[in-house]
Structure 1
Amino acid sequence: MLTFKMKQLAGMSATGFEQACADLLARDGFRSTRRVGGAGDLGVDVTARDDDGRLLILQCKQYQNPVGSGHVQKFNGTARLHHGADLPVMIGLNGFTQPAVDFAQYHQLILMGRPELKKWAHGQHLYDVLGIENSTQ
């Protein structure tokens, strides 16, 4: 089973971190998993579909500091409206500021901080970590 240590994730390039997240989705059985990050990606680093056909959009932030509200607001503006995400998930290697958390809760964005990322990277299914219902589990 594919797993990563937090130190490995922290030491990767931005592209490597995105690819690691895509690989973890594939490990969890998601389909059509694609890393699309890069300049002009409009806030999407990885896309995948679950067994229910729901579109998962990941935005992966590997910052040294917690992710601020501005980044979460930008993601909110593109994840559903532009990309049609059913499940918009933003990953923050070092967590999120309180204003970012408050904004995400209000707009029903899924934030995945360090504790959740660690569980996922160490082998737990993404939906178990995030408490998301999945008909096939």
Structure 2
Amino acid sequence: MGGSGTQPDRGAQLLRHDGCTDVVVHNGPGDRGVDVTEVTADGCSIVVQCKSFAPYRPVWSGELQKFLGASSIQHRADVALFVATASFAPEARAIAETYGITLVDRAHLEKWSAGVPLPVLKQQSPGREKGPKSQRLVATSGPAQRIG
């Protein structure tokens, strides 16, 4: 994911930069499909999966399916972010759009690393009511789209 440290460490650093607190990195085989967890001041839970792939190898639907289970069943997250150094296959994008997973591809990761905040994190500000998962923004290679 660029920068120093592991991909989950870099993801945690970006979350903190966007104002998230209580960020925990879960590295290794016991992470249960989630690399970073966070709870916002208003009680929204965020889970992140970080993948470092070659630019020519997209994230496939199977990886999104595993993350969907981990984020919604195991962690019951309000916001699920899948961050990758590559693009997402069309089937993976379809899963994300259907279930409200926010995708951060290489282009969005570069912008986020340069200081552009993720819209879905800005929505999780203190005092904001938690909306239904079907109302999350999904970052794609085009403009962000509202789901639902």
Q: 1:131 to 1:56 in 2, by over 3 A?
A: closer
- Can you list the C-alpha shifts for 1:86-118, whole angstroms capped at 9, x where unaligned? 101101111211111011111111111112111
Residue 8 of structure 2 corresponds to residue 26 of structure 1: no
**1:35-46 → structure 2 map (5 Å cutoff):** 35-46=25-36
**Structure 1 residues not aligned, in runs of 5+:** 1-5
User: How far apart are the structure 2 equivalents of 1:41 and 1:18?
Assistant: 11
Alignment root-mean-square deviation, CA: 2.1
- Can you list the C-alpha shifts for 1:1-20, whole angstroms capped at 9, x where unaligned? xxxxx7xx1x76xx611101
User: How far apart are the structure 1 equivalents of 2:10 and 2:103?
Assistant: 17
Residue 85 of structure 2 corresponds to residue 93 of structure 1: yes
User: How far apart are the structure 1 equivalents of 2:30 and 2:121?
Assistant: 31
Q: By how many angstroms is 1:66 displaced?
A: 1.1
TM-score, reference length from structure 2: 0.76
Q: By how many angstroms is 1:29 displaced?
A: 1.4
Identity of aligned residues (%): 34
SS at 2:77 equivalent: coil
Select 1:105's aligned residue among 97, 113, 137: 97
**How many residue pairs are counted as aligned between the two chains?**
125
State the match for 2:108 in structure 1.
Answer: 116
Q: By how many angstroms is 1:131 displaced?
A: 7.6
- Can you list the C-alpha shifts for 1:53-109, whole angstroms capped at 9, x where unaligned? 211100001111111000000111111110121101101111211111011111111
**Partner amino acid, structure 2, of 1:33:** V
State the match for 2:65 in structure 1.
Answer: 73
TM-score, reference length from structure 1: 0.82
State the match for 2:146 in structure 1.
Answer: none
**Structure 2 residues not aligned, in runs of 5+:** 129-148
Q: By how many angstroms is 1:37 displaced?
A: 2.4
